[in-house]
């Protein structure tokens, strides 16, 4: 469990810097400006349930908000092209589902060709092709396809690999732009509020 490894790391840090390690079996005492109140639960319960588990829940909620089911499926479909662990996630059906999301780039006949290319591709560059073993990232795969001229043989597969790489960059760029807009909007809103106050 993550809690145990966290406690080990914190204990090592505390010992190294001569910081007192709390007694986890004692009752938790609320810290505050007024009189200190003793809780009806232990220090272990406070840090494990009230702090640690709540933070994990918040992180999971944030991930669920950012990555809905459609986005998660898209990311999972992209991993099916990954060369990691000798193409362990390779799945033609899921890769085809990814290609369907690009109707301008993959017409009906392109999809048929892609399916045939994928069947040959996994045999050619999968576990049998020595130059393609040991690759872990999509960027490495893209370079290797170019170096070996396999991008010409498997042009539709190569196009999907490029789309997968571009999608991550494009998503990050859009996210950054929205964050910047949020800052600008907040600044403008604050200035407008000050302006309204001055008028009234």
Q: Cα 106 to chain center, whole Å? A: 27
By three-state DSSP, how is residue 37 classified? strand
109-123, 124-138, 166-180: range with highest mean pLDDT? 109-123
Phi, psi of 51 (to 5 degrees): -105, -65
50-59, 85-94, 107-116: range with highest mean pLDDT? 107-116
Say which DSSP state 38 is in: E
Residue predicted with more confidence, 88 or 159: 159
Round the average pLDDT of the chain to a whole number and report it: 77
Would you state the structure tokens that stand for residue 148, as one six-digit string?
A: 């070996």
Q: Model-level pTM?
A: 0.53
Mean pLDDT of 54-72: 76
Residue predicted with more confidence, 156 or 48: 156
CB proximity list for 139: less than 8 A, separation 6 or greater: 165
Predicted confidence at residue 197, as pLDDT, reads 47
Q: How far apart are CA 4 and CA 197, in angstroms?
A: 53
Q: How far apart are CA 70 and CA 36, in angstroms?
A: 49
Give the range among 12-16, 67-71, 84-88, 184-188 with minimum mean pLDDT. 184-188
Say if CB 25 and CB 44 are below 8 A apart: yes
């Amino acid at each position: 469990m993550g809690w145990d490894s966290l406690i080990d790391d914190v204990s090592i840090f505390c010992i190294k810097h001569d910081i007192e390690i709390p007694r986890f079996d004692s009752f938790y005492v609320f810290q505050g400006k007024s009189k200190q109140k003793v809780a009806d639960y232990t220090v272990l319960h406070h840090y494990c349930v009230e702090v640690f588990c709540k933070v994990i829940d918040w992180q999971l909620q944030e991930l669920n908000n950012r990555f809905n089911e459609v986005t998660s499926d898209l990311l999972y479909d992209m991993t099916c092209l990954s060369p990691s662990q000798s193409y362990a996630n390779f799945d033609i059906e899921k890769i085809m589902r990814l290609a369907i999301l690009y109707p301008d780039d993959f017409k009906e006949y392109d999809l048929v060709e892609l399916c045939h290319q994928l069947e040959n591709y996994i045999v050619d560059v999968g576990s049998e092709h020595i130059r393609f073993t040991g690759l872990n990232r999509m960027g490495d795969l893209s370079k290797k396809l170019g170096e070996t001229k396999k991008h010409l043989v498997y042009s539709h597969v190569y196009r999907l690999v490029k789309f997968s790489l571009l999608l991550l960059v494009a998503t990050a760029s859009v996210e950054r732009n929205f964050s910047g807009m949020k800052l600008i909007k907040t600044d403008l809103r604050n200035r407008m509020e000050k302006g309204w106050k001055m008028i009234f």
